[in-house]
Amino acid sequence: MKYTLNLLLFVLLFTTACTQKDSSVKSPDGTISVSVGSENGKIYYTVNKENKTILNKSFLGFILKDSELDKNLIIRDVKESSFSETWEQPWGEETLVENKYNQLTVNVEESNGLKRKFTVVFRVFDDGVGFRYEFPEQENLKDFIIMDELTEFALADNHKAWSIPYDTQYYEGLYKATPVNELDTVCTPLTMETKDGLYMSIHEANLTDYAAMNLSPKNKTSVLKAYLSPWSTGEKVFMKAGHVTPWRTIIIANKPGDLLLSRLMLNLNEPSKIADTSWIKPGRYIGIWWGMHMEKYTWYNGPKHGATTANVKKYIDFASQHGFSGVLVEGWNKGWENDWTKEGDKFSFTEAYPDFDITEITKYAAMKNVKLIGHHETGGAIINYENQLDSAFAYYQRHGINTVKTGYVSPLLDAKEMHSGQYAVRHYRKVIEAAAKHHIMIDNHEPVMPTGLQRTWPNLMTQEGVRGQEYDAWSRDGGNPPEHTTIIPFTRGLAGPIDFTPGTFNFTNPVYPNTRVQTTIAKQLALSVVIYSPLQMASDMIENYENNPAFEFITSCPTNWSKTVVPDAKIGEYVTIARKDRDSENWYIGSITNAEKHNLALPLIFLDKGVTYKAKIFKDGKDAEYKTNPYPVDIEEKEVTAETVLNLELATSGGTAIILTKL
């Protein structure tokens, strides 16, 4: 598919060279402003929205291995410019994205000594701010090592923040709401609600050859400071003049739903490097997967092996019959027979177990118009994986496989580096680029937190980096609590698509009877709309879908959208999202709640005026309740228009899912 950058307008408003200390720039709509100044040789910025302070003086700078780069600084000159374009996403939550900002380029220099220089570039959008450091090539700064990034976010108040600790394994934690000054070091996106009713989220965009940013409050105040994930040797980033840092981003919104509609993350990434994106296709998949988590199958070869030719064909038949585009098969390759989270270096990515005939399977799949989704579990052994990377993707490409799920289960990569450090960031990028060369889409598990790179590499479809549905299979704490999915769209979801894998229909757990899906079935359906992912799994084993009328919602729900709206949301309590299909005039609605029931009157004002739609409503049935009676689903049909107000009644941890077909 053609990845067209539709450049509408580029206007350089004016460029001024000035030496005054405080300079500011406003968003195109004038509501958000950023000021930059210096005080006692230190550089700071502030952010305001209308008459509200978002950030007080927040200082900038670095500690390098051999020196400090935050003192004796002067602002050499400041340039202002503007930019406006509308670009088209090959896939996404909407087709067209407006990228419109005013920019302030602040050139900073040490006033004495080595007179080293850096630039801070601020981009102010109507929905927030991004800024990054740029290090021009210069005589006295070549290769250097960052030991600490001193970037601050001096919040105006002690806001309520939803966070997971920075060292949460694979970002698979439950988000907790606490006042900012009680936080330990936490991951971004860090989403906050202010006392005066604003919502904001701090994160980063375009994480390239750098370490992921975490945040920690300075001395128990509400001044947050960047904390970069370190290398095992303590350094944070090996840097070179001529390079830039990721963008530090602050989304600012009047409503929780507006956080989800911000495209600031994408706009701060580079346009696509893949010219022809016609091979990149969103879709919905099933897999030989939940069966492993339920211990019906094993990943390794043996009497309960899941990835056998016969079993995969059964899944292909089912996928074909119900219109799924893909079948994920885990446990097909040699290496699973080892203690693989410690011995990932024994994985082969080109040798299948003898009972998995890839040629026969892929031929069969092609006949049935289904694609196999490949799987590369590395057990965190990156060197082993990189040694095989090209042949591994070439092997799949030869067999017509165009999607690969990657995985890195092991607390440290190559037994020493964090998933969020510069070592990992370099590796994940190598994989995306190698995959693109072989026309392969990536679904990455145990990733570094996403930062909007899918704009530049649209084959990076979706990632985990979240406590997903699999926790409902084996988590000793009983599974994901009801509020979890009402929080993650506003935290992890702001970073990018989530491979959460909703859609479990059978909640019986033979392995851990006290662990199970803590929702109603109707909520499982609604999650297909609420949690955005261009590749989305229906997680259950196929036998659990047979003859269940509710399954129709999952098989009908698209994964690629032309528009998204969020009519109703309260973080941690409830959320309703409506999305318009990219390939038709139909809309899909997902509405979910936490452990409390939720009633809402939903005006369908987003529908086309003067047109009638058939609404097929999948809702919690009579007496449905997530703990004791999760299964009843009522299916109702009625005609609606843009004037209709639908009354939805969600059970405890319940949901409603609606298909709106234009008549």
Point out the residues that are catalytic: 470
| Paired tokens of 204 | 């980063």
Q: How many whole angstroms separate alpha carbon 356 and alpha carbon 348?
A: 14
CB of 287 to ligand NOJ, least distance (A): 9
Footprint of ligand NOJ on this chain (CB under 6 A)?
289, 330, 377, 407, 409, 445, 464, 470
- Beta-sheet strand order (sheet of 176-179): 73-88, 96-110, 117-125, 128-134, 247-253, 199-205, 190-193, 160-163, 176-179
| 414 versus 464: smaller Cβ distance to ligand NOJ | 464
Q: What is the DSSP string of 500-558?
A: ----------SS-TT----S-HHHHHHHHHHS--SEEE--S-GGGTTT-TTHHHHHH--
Q: What is the DSSP string of 388-449?
A: HHHHHHHHHHHTT--EEEEE--SSSBTTTB-TTSHHHHHHHHHHHHHHHHTT-EEEESS-PP
| 445 versus 619: smaller Cβ distance to ligand NOJ | 445
| 377 versus 417: smaller Cβ distance to ligand NOJ | 377
CB of 648 to ligand NOJ, least distance (A): 32
| 3 versus 471: smaller Cβ distance to ligand NOJ | 471
- Comparing CA positions, the residue from 276, 336, 242 lying closest to residue 90 is 276
DSSP SS3 for 385: helix
Q: How many whole angstroms separate alpha carbon 264 and alpha carbon 98?
A: 9
CB of 306 to ligand NOJ, least distance (A): 11
Q: How many whole angstroms separate alpha carbon 419 and alpha carbon 187?
A: 12
Q: What are phi and psi of 141, to 5 degrees?
A: -145, 110
Q: How many whole angstroms separate alpha carbon 277 and alpha carbon 281?
A: 9
| Paired tokens of 564 | 């998204």
What stretch of H or E contains 266?
A: helix 264-267
Q: What are phi and psi of 278, to 5 degrees?
A: -65, -20
Evaluate the CA torsion angle 137, 139, 143, 149 in order and state its sign.
Answer: negative
CB of 399 to ligand NOJ, least distance (A): 20
Unique residue bearing structure tokens 């919040």: 155
| 44 versus 285: smaller Cβ distance to ligand NOJ | 285
Q: How many whole angstroms separate alpha carbon 560 and alpha carbon 582?
A: 6
CB of 467 to ligand NOJ, least distance (A): 10
| 154 versus 389: smaller Cβ distance to ligand NOJ | 389
| 123 versus 445: smaller Cβ distance to ligand NOJ | 445
Please confirm whether the linkage preceding 189 is cis (ω < 30° from 0). Answer: yes
Angle among Cα 235, 241, 242 to the nearest 5 degrees reads: 130
Q: How many whole angstroms separate alpha carbon 292 and alpha carbon 330?
A: 9
- Comparing CA positions, the residue from 382, 103, 69, 33 lying closest to residue 247 is 103
- Comparing CA positions, the residue from 121, 472, 438, 450 lying closest to residue 294 is 472
Strand partners of residue 124: 102, 129
| 79 versus 445: smaller Cβ distance to ligand NOJ | 445
CB of 577 to ligand NOJ, least distance (A): 24
CB of 572 to ligand NOJ, least distance (A): 24
CB of 359 to ligand NOJ, least distance (A): 24
| 494 versus 498: smaller Cβ distance to ligand NOJ | 498
CB of 371 to ligand NOJ, least distance (A): 18
Angle among Cα 97, 102, 107 to the nearest 5 degrees reads: 130
| 231 versus 289: smaller Cβ distance to ligand NOJ | 289
Q: What share of the chain is helix, strand, coil (3-state, %, to 5)?
A: 20, 35, 45
